[in-house]
Structure 1
Amino acid sequence: MNDLKPKVSLVIPVYNGADYLHEAIRSALAQTYGNLEIIVVNDGSKDGGATDAIAREYGDSIRYIARENGGVAAALNTAAEAMTGDYLSWLSHDDLYAPQKVERDVDALLALDTRERDRSIIYSDYAVFSDTPDRATEVRMEGVRPEAFRYWLTIKNALHGCTLLVPRQAFAESGGFDERLRTTQDFDLWFRLAGQYRFHHLPEVLVYARSHAEQGSVKMAGTAYEESNALLERFLSGLTSDDFKAAGYTGRFDAYTALARSFWRRSFVPAARAASNAAFSARNEVPFSGQIRLLSMLVLAPLEMRFWQTVRRVLSPHRRARLRMMASLLTARRRVRGLETGDLKKRFSRIYKENIFGGGVSRSGEGSDLVQTEIIRREIPSLLKRLGARSLLDAPCGDWHWMQKTELGVDQYIGVDLVEEMIDLNSRKFGNEHVRFASLDLTRDALPRVDVIFSRDCLVHLTSADALRIIENFKRSGARYLLTTTFTDRQKNNELAGSNAFWRPLNMQAAPFNFPEPIALINEGCTEERGKYQDKCLGLWELADIHIPSMPDSGGPP
């Protein structure tokens, strides 16, 4: 395999696909990634040769395989055996890829540690449409750590198989897709692979899934229901205490109760009963009040199930996706609402413990994964070398997910953060004579004197008053330089309020900070929120050139 540009096999299985196959193949041919082969597998279409004729129109630009009908699983297994690529990317014949889909998958893969790549699978967000992709409804995945993926797959069931990039050897090791399954073959394989591979989330919409009446999941609804119940029951029996712990549950009772409620809501009655029974069998793990909670859930669950059955009958799939997205946003806002007030230490400790930023690999959020930090991991050491810097204060350091992959080239690194639990863990895992960590409050504690203070994604989470206090403290430390986050295209800075209660972009050259022109800028190449923050940069200033206005008396807006 060429580590710099691994070959990818883009596979399109198709059965009676004359209506949409042209669009899918054109979507595949439009990929910006160069080291690519396109394989179309005709799974015994019975449409008078229409599907066959369309595939053959593309000649040598694709590899075409015709086989007897065996179902999607058999067609995908055929492609996996025939592929010459290092990785497989599956595109349903009625769906579409964003032009950069494969390229972004490979970027995310190559951002991982070399030792991880061969045991990793990339998946991304997607969007659902019925008429045109321009009117698609986005489906955003939660950030899930790889260790918690099996539980998440069981309770959410929201993954789209066409978003994945899967190593070729995974199919040989696992036996591939189960050809006895007609509608759940993908989820069955992902769950089995999650025991051996790490699933990494790429927070970008790269697949457009078409919703129409001829879909297999619609035409085989009865089969899908039976298979899904059986699949969820197998998942249920396959989950371990490690899966529950990784998902944030302290015991079986709460983990099974949450699963039961999810299954009831999705109308998977046999699976819901199995999960309820599993929770009931673990009832002695909790006090009597907890057992009452389970009984209440079991009483209310059928009512909730009937509500969601009505929703599914009335709303189209892309409208249901929009409803789920709105519900997720409301849940997230409820979680953040409790963080709007209170001291900084309590707020950020709760963020860490509950993973409120939703990071799949880092508790600091998706902006701290190895994809979003690829550029700065390369540019920061180069900048420090040009400055002749020998010491750096990382404030705040977070869980050190991406910084541990960065060769800074300094004699002394000091990482500080408010969350004591995280600092203790960082010290045990990463501390040495050149790297140390300390729990400090940036607004008031004395800071060690260094050449450069690095403060990424910090001030954006604070009121202007707290941010100004921190900058003043940076100046008191005696450091020469400050390298911090700035959004260069923003004309003004908003205060934390309402829907922006815990984050907003800041331009450090705008009021109330009014920094001068930076000495240097590093554009991070941020791709979050579909490029909404392409102006996200790290700006370098001499602290002596930064002048702080009079400090406000309270922690509110200045």
Structure 2
Amino acid sequence: MEHFSPKVSIIIPVYNGVNYLTEAIDSALAQTYKNIEILVINDGSNDNGQTEAIAEGYGNKIRYISKSNGGVASALNLGIAKMTGDYFSWLSHDDLYLNTKIETQIKTLAALNNPRAVLYGDYSVFTTDPDKDILCKMKGVSPFQFRHWITFENCLHGCTLLIPKIAFQECGLFNEQLRTTQDYDMWFRIAKVFPFVHCSEHLVKARSHIEQDSLKKKDIVLDECNQLLSNFVKQLSLTEIQQASMCSSGLGYAQLASSMWYRGFFPAGRTSAYLSLINSFQAPLKEIMLAQCILMKGFLLHYMVKPMRKLFSPYSRRNIKQFLTRFSSFTKNVDRSYATPAQNASIDHLKEMNLADKFSTVYENNLFGGNISRSGEGSDLVQTATIREAIPKLLVEFNISSMLDAPCGDWYWMRNIVLNIPQYIGVDIVDALIKKNQTLYSRDNVQFKCVNLVKDSIPQAELIFSRDCFVHLAYQDIFAILHQFKASGAKYLLTTTFVDRQHNDDLGEGFWRPLNLQLAPFNFPEPVRIINENCTEENGAFNDKSLALWKLDELLN
């Protein structure tokens, strides 16, 4: 979006903020992005006018509004009602913005070309000295998995967000009945219809001090969090559970239950455990047993061992710890062996289709679940950050002048690479996708063609780039495509491989599985180069995902 400079309203709710308010306002005024307004909402402070005096001392640099005490949610809602900006940015009166916070996010929005995106970022925590802060980096998840993520981990900081004002018009305001969880309740509702995108930058410094509500109202926090998380679990769709956990819904709910118990949210954990049992009822026996193992581990550890640990002798505690470690390792390994994309639950009807119809249906119905790219979350700007930097360097190093991208998908992330080569050809089996790419992205050195890799003639290029292709295909089709690639006269193949996998499986009834191309039945030699993608999907379950470069004349010999 060229010349994108929307007005941003920074809302600072405050109650008795004499200790920290000046620093917060100063950090807002120091923003390098200048199209902002700052609203300080005094939520009925009873400090003899000290908070008001600080705010009014800034004159017309800020807008000051005073109201009777009603809680943070009511102050934020008043700020939203009074704001004149296009985007909302919350700053707690005891926290600090880095001076590039808003500018960084506006640039990210411009690059995304999606004004409905909600941005969140990384933050740090300090006690007294902001220069002695500890950075908390968010891993970043796909927009479709965001609601599951904040249910599973709840580590998001609300002051890092940048939210389009229209989100409140469509999704409602903060729930003023909630005293400590109004923020997560709001994010969960917004995320149902607006994509949340991670901006991988340090944006906020959050202060930790004994006067915070989360410390002063521990009982209220615990009760509200249990109610909130129980509601979240009930509202998550089965598709969200499956795609985020990379397993069946029964196992996914069991993982949520274990996470709740680990964090001390026992009622919410029981809700998740109940849903796990209900959704495992008709599952295969092995799956039921695994779900039971996960639930049993969580129950033993968090209901019995931890509360009663002081009653055991040091020797007994050591033996219990060793048992739980072995048990945890067992469940993790079995769980990982069951990890398959949850799209499988949505694509049973594709099994009998030919490749063209199958992938056209996937594209038309967005069955990969990508809120940004229809090629799925693995094609967003977070999961492709490493390879977007590595591929241009590889092209230069190996003196590549022409590249065939097979399949090219919707070209979401590839258009963010400066390739600097005379010829790029993107091919895909989905005709509607290719026509759209031709209309939007074709130029002198960039072409798109509809090609069935199994049977059509392959355009000639020095390098064939084939990311996330073979993982969706049966062995028979993979070998047919590899022979096609070799026959095309290309010199190199750069393709996906999972280097730590110990065995390969044919596609069977599913639609995806990881493949290690150096194992049978492919038996590829050592690659010329390996690029680890630094994949963070599914909490690192696929951190061995890599692009490997081979010479085609050394394959299938």
User: TM-score by structure 2 length?
Assistant: 0.62
Which residue of structure 2 aligns with residue 468 of structure 1?
Answer: none
Q: Which residue, out of 252, 256, 260, partners 1:255?
A: 252
Alignment of 1:90-101 (within 5 A): 90-101=90-101
Counterpart-to-counterpart distance in 1, 2:369 and 2:163: 30
Cα shift readout 1:210-229 (whole Å, capped 9, x = no counterpart)? 11111111111111111111
Q: Distance in 1 between matches of 2:432 and 2:141?
A: 24
Matched, 1:127 2:124: yes
Is this contact kept in 2: 1:449–1:478, CA < 8 A?
no
Instruction: Give the conservation status (yes or no) of the 8 Å contact 2:120–2:199.
Output: yes
Shift of 1:256: 0.9
CA–CA distance in structure 1, aligned partners of residues 89 and 411 of structure 2: 31
- Any conservation in 1 of the 2:140–2:382 contact (CA below 8 Å)? no
Following the alignment from structure 1 to structure 2, what is the Cα–Cα distance between the partners of residues 308 and 25?
Answer: 44
Kindly report the root-mean-square deviation, in angstroms, between the aligned alpha carbons of the 2 structures.
4.6
Identical columns (%): 42
Pair 1:160–1:437, CA change in 2 (3 A): farther
Aligned equivalent of 2:276: 279
| 8 Å CA contact retained: 2:255, 2:294 | no
Check if 1:165 corresponds to 2:170: no
The 1:36/1:453 distance shift into structure 2, 3 A limit, reads: farther
Q: 1:430 to 1:255 in 2, by over 3 A?
A: farther
1:172-230 CA distance string (max 9 Å, x none): 22220000000000110111111111111111121111111111111111111111111
**Within 5 A, what are the aligned runs for 1:176-187?**
176-187=173-184
Q: Counterpart of 2:171 in structure 1: which amino acid?
A: S
**Corresponding residue SS for 2:281:** helix
- Name structure 1 gaps, 5 residues minimum: 312-330, 339-352, 378-388, 417-422, 441-445, 459-472, 480-500, 506-550
Is the contact made by 2:39 and 2:64 (CA closer than 8 Å) also made in structure 1? yes
Alignment partners' CA distance in 1, 2:47 and 2:234: 42
**For 1:45, what is the secondary structure of its paired residue?**
coil
Question: Does the Cα contact within 8 Å between 1:251 and 1:285 map onto a contact in 2?
Answer: no
What is the SS of the residue equivalent to 1:133? coil
1:435 is aligned to 2:486: no
1:310-349 aligned at under 5 Å gives the runs none
Q: Which residue of 1 aligns with 2:288?
A: 291
**Change over 3 Å in CA distance of 1:30–1:455 after alignment to 2:** farther
Alpha carbons of structure 1 residues 402 and 502: separation in structure 2 relative to 1, 3 Å: closer
Q: Distance in 2 between matches of 1:264 and 1:447?
A: 54
Instruction: Judge conservation of contact 1:76–1:177 (CA < 8 Å) in 2.
Output: yes
Look up the match of 1:15.
15
Q: Which letter maps to 1:363?
A: G
Tell me what 1:57 maps to.
57
Q: CA deviation at 1:295?
A: 2.7
Contact 2:124 2:206 in 1 (8 A): yes
Q: Give the match for residue 86 of structure 1.
A: 86
Q: Is the 8 A contact 1:200 1:361 kept in 2?
A: no
TM-score with structure 1 length normalisation? 0.62
- How many residue pairs match? The answer is 407
Partner residue, 2:378: 363
Which SS does the other structure have where 1:278 is aligned? helix
User: Any conservation in 1 of the 2:387–2:531 contact (CA below 8 Å)?
Assistant: no
Cα deviation, 1:77-100, whole Å, max 9, x if unaligned, reads 000000010001001111111111
Aligned-residue offset at 1:448: 5.1
Alignment partner, residue 235 of structure 2 = 238
Instruction: State the alpha-carbon separation in 2 of the partners of residues 271 and 289 from structure 1.
Output: 26
Matched, 1:70 2:67: no
Distance 1:275 1:435 in 2: 47
Cα distance in 2 between the residues matched to 1:438 and 1:308: 59
Q: Is the 8 A contact 2:380 2:412 kept in 1?
A: no
The one-letter amino acid of 1:218's match is: L
Q: Could you tell me which residue of structure 2 aligns to residue 45 of structure 1?
A: 45
**Distance in 2 of aligned mates of 1:62 and 1:110:** 26
Task: Give the Cα–Cα distance (whole angstroms) in 1 for the partners of residues 12 and 242 of structure 2.
Answer: 38
Q: Does the CA contact (< 8 Å) of 1:415 and 1:438 recur in 2?
A: no
**Structure 2 counterpart of 1:152, from 149, 153, 177:** 149
Q: Please state how far the C-alpha of 1:309 moved relative to its aligned partner.
A: 8.6
The amino acid across from 2:44 in the alignment is: G
Look up the match of 2:34.
Answer: 34
Q: CA 1:171 to 1:430, structure 2 compared with 1: closer, same or farther past 3 Å?
A: same
Aligned partner of 1:326 in structure 2 is none
Cα–Cα, structure 1 residues 149 and 19, in superposed 2: closer, same or farther, change >3 Å? same
Q: 1:281 to 1:82 in 2, by over 3 A?
A: same
Q: What is the CA distance between 1:287 and its match in structure 2?
A: 2.2
User: What secondary structure is seen at the aligned counterpart in 2 of 1:128?
Assistant: strand
How far apart in 1 are the matches of 2:11 and 2:145?
A: 28
Q: CA deviation at 1:477?
A: 5.3
> How far apart, in 2, do the equivalents of 1:56 and 1:137 lie?
33
Name whichever of 247-256 and 201-210 sits farther off.
247-256
Alignment-derived partner of residue 223 in structure 1:
220
Q: Does 1:403 align with 2:418?
A: no
**1:140 equivalent in structure 2:** 137
Amino acid at match of 1:400: W
Task: Tell me the alpha carbon deviations over residues 19-71 of structure 1, each in whole angstroms, 9 at most, x when there is no partner.
Answer: 11111111111111010111111111112222111111211111111111000
Whole-Å separation in 1 of the counterparts to 2:434 and 2:421:
15
